[in-house]
C-alpha cells in the first residue's frame, strides 16, 4: 500500500476551468518536500477536464472515472472506496473543485493543525471561505439549541481555531484516527446534507470539529435562481426542486432530520413546506 501524508480527494463534472484552478492552487503552494497526493473523481465530464488535468503532467495527481454520473456525495464515497485500498495516509483532505485557495492557505492550515495536535490526534478541521467581497460563505456551524441541534448559526473565523458542531466540506482535513474509528460520509446521501451529517456524527461521539483560524480561500454561495430557494417559483415547483437529487430528496431529507434533529426532527421536517406555502400566499 502506498503512503502519503496528505491525501486530497475531490469530484468534478464539466467545470474544467474551476477544477483546474482549484487543483493548481493546491499544487502551487504545497512544499516540494511535502508528501501529498491528489485524487480526482471525474463524473464522466465531456468538456475536456480529464485531458486538461493530464496535460499538467503531475505525478501527484491521479484521475478515476465513475461508472455513471454521480452527484457530490456519491462521487466522494465512490472515490474513498477506491483510495482506501490503495493509499495509507495521515490526513484525508476532501475539497470542492470550485474553491479558489489563497496563497497563504497552506500556512494557515499547517499552523492550525499544529495547534490542534497539542490537544488531540483525533480531529476534523474545516477551512473557512468567503465570497469575493469578503462576506462569509462556507465554514462551520454551532447548534443554538441542544434539544434541536439543527437550529444552526454559521461561524466567522476569529484568528484562532473554533470548536463547532458541524461543518461544510469545501476543504476539510480529517485525521486518519477519525477515519479509522468513524469511516467517511454516509452512503445514504447523493449530494447535499452529507457533510453536515458527518460533522454531527463526530460531534455526538465527542470528536473535536474545528474551523480554521482565518479564511483560506474564496468560494461563492450557490445562486438561488431556479432552486427551491427561488421565491418566484410556484409552491409545487419549489417542492419539486427541493426533492431533486441535487438538493434534498424526500427520504434522504427525512433520514437526515430524524438522525440529527433529536425528537424535534420529525416536526421541524415540515417547516420548510409551510414556509413555501406562506410565500405562495403572499404573492
What pLDDT, in 10s, does the model give residues 119-157? 999 999 999 999 999 999 999 999 998 888 899 999 999
Whether the pLDDT of residue 169 is over 90: the answer is yes
What pLDDT, in 10s, does the model give residues 40-54? 999 999 999 999 999
- For residue 280, the model assigns a pLDDT of 93
Cβ contact 54:63 at 8 Å:
yes
Whether the pLDDT of residue 267 is over 90: the answer is no
pTM score, two decimals? 0.95
Cβ contact 152:165 at 8 Å:
yes
The pLDDT confidence band at residue 266, using thresholds 50, 70 and 90, is: confident
Written as nine digits, the cell of 146 is 441542544
Give per-residue burial for 137-148: e unless 16+ CB within 10 Å, then b.
bbbbbbbeeeeb
- For residue 9, the model assigns a pLDDT of 98
- For residue 147, the model assigns a pLDDT of 82
What pLDDT, in 10s, does the model give residues 209-234? 999 999 999 999 989 999 999 999 99
What pLDDT, in 10s, does the model give residues 82-113? 999 999 999 999 999 999 999 999 999 999 99
- For residue 202, the model assigns a pLDDT of 98
Short-list 136, 132, 116, 114, CA closest to 124: 116
Written as nine digits, the cell of 229 is 430557494
Higher-pLDDT residue of 264, 242:
242
Amino acid at each position: 500500500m502506498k503512503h502519503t501524508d496528505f491525501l486530497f480527494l475531490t469530484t468534478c463534472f464539466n467545470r474544467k476551468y474551476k477544477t483546474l484552478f482549484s487543483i493548481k492552487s493546491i499544487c502551487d503552494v504545497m512544499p516540494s518536500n511535502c508528501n501529498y497526493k491528489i485524487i480526482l473523481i471525474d463524473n464522466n465530464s465531456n468538456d475536456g477536464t480529464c485531458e486538461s488535468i493530464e496535460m499538467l503532467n503531475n505525478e501527484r495527481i491521479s484521475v478515476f472515472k465513475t461508472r455513471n454520473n454521480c452527484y457530490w456525495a456519491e462521487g466522494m464515497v465512490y472515490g474513498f472506496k477506491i483510495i482506501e485500498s490503495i493509499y495509507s495516509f495521515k490526513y484525508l483532505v476532501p475539497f470542492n473543485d470550485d474553491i479558489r485557495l489563497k496563497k497563504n492557505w497552506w500556512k494557515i492550515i499547517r499552523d492550525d493543525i499544529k495547534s490542534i495536535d497539542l490537544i488531540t490526534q483525533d480531529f476534523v478541521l474545516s477551512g473557512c471561505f468567503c465570497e469575493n467581497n469578503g462576506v462569509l460563505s462556507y465554514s462551520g456551524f454551532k447548534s443554538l439549541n441542544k434539544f434541536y441541534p439543527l437550529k444552526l448559526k454559521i461561524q466567522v473565523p476569529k484568528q484562532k481555531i473554533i470548536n463547532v458542531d458541524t461543518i461544510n466540506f469545501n476543504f476539510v482535513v480529517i485525521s486518519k484516527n477519525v477515519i479509522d474509528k468513524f469511516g467517511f460520509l454516509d452512503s445514504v446521501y447523493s449530494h447535499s446534507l452529507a457533510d453536515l451529517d458527518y460533522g454531527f456524527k463526530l460531534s455526538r461521539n465527542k470528536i473535536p470539529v474545528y474551523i480554521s483560524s482565518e479564511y483560506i480561500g474564496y468560494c461563492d454561495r450557490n445562486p438561488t435562481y431556479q432552486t427551491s430557494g427561488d421565491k418566484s417559483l410556484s409552491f409545487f415547483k419549489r417542492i419539486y426542486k427541493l426533492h431533486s437529487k441535487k438538493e434534498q430528496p424526500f427520504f434522504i431529507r427525512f433520514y437526515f432530520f430524524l438522525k440529527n434533529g433529536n425528537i424535534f426532527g420529525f416536526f421541524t421536517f415540515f417547516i420548510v413546506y409551510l414556509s413555501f406555502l406562506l410565500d405562495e400566499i403572499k404573492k
